[in-house]
Amino acid sequence: MTLTWVAITGVSYHLQVSTNSNFTSTLLVNDSTLTVASYQATALASNTTYYWRVRAKNTAGYGSFSSSFSFSTAAARTVTSPGVTFPANPTASTDYRLVSFPGSSSLTASQVLTGFQNTDWRLFRDNGAAVPNHLSELTASSLLTVGEGFWLLNKGTLGFSRSTTMPQVASDGTVTINVRSGWNIIGNPFDVDVPWSSIIASNGLASTAQLSSYTGTGGFQSATTLEPFKGYYCNLSTSTLKIPYPFPALRVAPSEIPPIDWKLQLVLQTDINSDSENYLGIAPTAKIDLDELDQPKPPLMFDQGFLYFSRPFWDARYGRFNSDFRPAVGDGQVWEFEISVPRRSFISLRIKGVEDVPPNYEVILLSESNTTPIDLRKKQTLAFQAIAERMRFKLVIGPRSFAEDQSKALLPTSFELGQNYPNPFNPSTAISYKIPHDAMVRVDVLSILGQHVETLADGHHAPGVYTVVWNAMEAARISSSGVYFYRLVVDGKVVRMKKMTLLK
């Protein structure tokens, strides 16, 4: 609770705070050393009326005390969370949930979670470091700061019921929580919903500032309300954030979002999660560079796959965005994006909204690992095996001549044989190679003694980039661990050869 009074030049102040209007009982505050006209009263009891008065002192001595003022603290009340459901035996990264705990004081993990760490629950906070080092695991004695959110994995349903007081609001009706520049997981310090639009207004944030909630399936979605007991990701550039109590007079209507001519939604599905909040498009007020429609992408958990627009020149702290809008197509636009699949699983990519792109433009997808352009007007869903942990793509929109030029630019100019990945491997590995013109091509695997083990490709190849997978367990002759060679043979001549290591 902040106490303030009219400032006087050249004086100090003597403040008294008591639970007795006559100030005859024990004084909570009796401070005669104050030099500013305000005081932050802490350690206040709940459901209690306090009285305070102040007097000034100059070289002539003390003046008279002011009239007494009073304020009352709220009564403690039982706060009960809706049940947060977890699997009986959670193991996958998609089983985590973003949570927070309301109240006026911080709690330890053991006060809100039952059982034992690693056996019954695991709890992480986002420490602000770069992915993948952004999560720090907490213990039973870790303090859960008011207004902070956490990643939680818990056995069964989590219920929370505790008698607590709500935070004291300042004169502007807000509670200030500590944050940092960059990504934060925040929580609602109150036990009632707080509109995100009110937080935007109280802090002077951009109208398009995004609050992201976890979907529970490995992705994020935009949220409009800060609900109690839930955690949310937001990207900030300040060290504090004001959370306004939702008094009716403080509710603020959502700001108008800039108009959008059309947009495409890029949806990634892996074997364990879905990442769907990814957009590109055209908006009249957008810029070629960073603008308010270009939203940073929250970091995901551990081994989950995600799609993002890599733009380190927009934000050196993180550089990953889930949207990229441009002002116009003009002579043509190329959107570069990446897909990260740590598990290298089978994935699908779906492009929604192609029908909204003006019909005089081509809409094609290009991959650095496959030079064959994909006409997205004919096919919007692609399914394929992730051959690397990170894959790069280009989505091209523009006149036919522009799209053709972009496709030709990907064609190889020389024969190349890539290093297999992973290496060492067990039992399978991917091998990529590039062919600059029509040719008869063969890819062989040889033992360390030069003996033929298996042929992975054999036949006519058009210009392009190709990938083959060798599974040593399915080889014609059983392959033992050790060093192997693989070679690229073009029109009967060996043009490239490399080695790889099989571990068993």
The domain containing residue 227 runs over which residues?
Answer: 76-256
Q: What is the DSSP string of 292-323?
A: TT-PBPPP--TT--EEEEE-TTT-TT--EESE
Residues 99 and 134 in one domain: yes
Query: With contact defined as beta carbons under 8 Å apart, do 184 and 233 qualify?
Result: yes
Residues 168 and 244 in one domain: yes
Backbone angles phi, psi at 30, to 5 degrees: -145, 75
Q: What is the DSSP string of 399-418?
A: -HHHHHHHHHTTS-SS-EEP
Secondary structure element (H or E) that encloses residue 201, with its range = helix 196-203
**Of the residues 345, 379, 408, the one at which a domain ends:** 408
Residues 403 and 421 in one domain: no
Residues 226 and 325 in one domain: no
Residues 10 and 26 in one domain: yes
pLDDT along the chain (504 residues), means of 10: 87 93 87 91 77 93 92 72 78 89 86 90 92 91 93 86 77 87 94 92 90 89 93 94 76 67 96 93 92 89 89 83 95 94 91 97 87 90 85 94 86 88 86 90 94 93 86 73 94 95 88
Number of H helices, E strands in the chain: 3, 42
Residues 308 and 379 in one domain: yes
Integer Cα distance of 278 and 335 in angstroms: 12
286 burial via Cβ count (<10 Å: 0-12, 13-18, 19+): buried
Domains of the chain: total: 4
Mapped onto helix, strand or coil, the DSSP state of residue 231 is strand
Question: What per-residue confidence (pLDDT) applies to 107?
Answer: 86
CATH no. for residue 494?
A: 2.60.40.1930
Secondary structure element (H or E) that encloses residue 110, with its range = helix 109-112
**Of the residues 408, 424, 459, the one at which a domain ends:** 408
Residues 93 and 179 in one domain: yes
Hunting for tokens 């502007």 — which residue is that? 172
Question: What per-residue confidence (pLDDT) applies to 250?
Answer: 45
Integer Cα distance of 439 and 460 in angstroms: 6
Residues 324 and 425 in one domain: no
Residues 248 and 279 in one domain: no
Tell me the whole-structure pTM to 2 decimals: 0.70
Residues 66 and 172 in one domain: no
Residues 244 and 104 in one domain: yes
Integer Cα distance of 77 and 164 in angstroms: 6
Contacts (Cβ under 8 Å, ≥6 apart) of 342: 302, 303, 304, 305, 389
**Of the residues 389, 408, 427, the one at which a domain ends:** 408
Integer Cα distance of 30 and 180 in angstroms: 35
Residues 423 and 368 in one domain: no
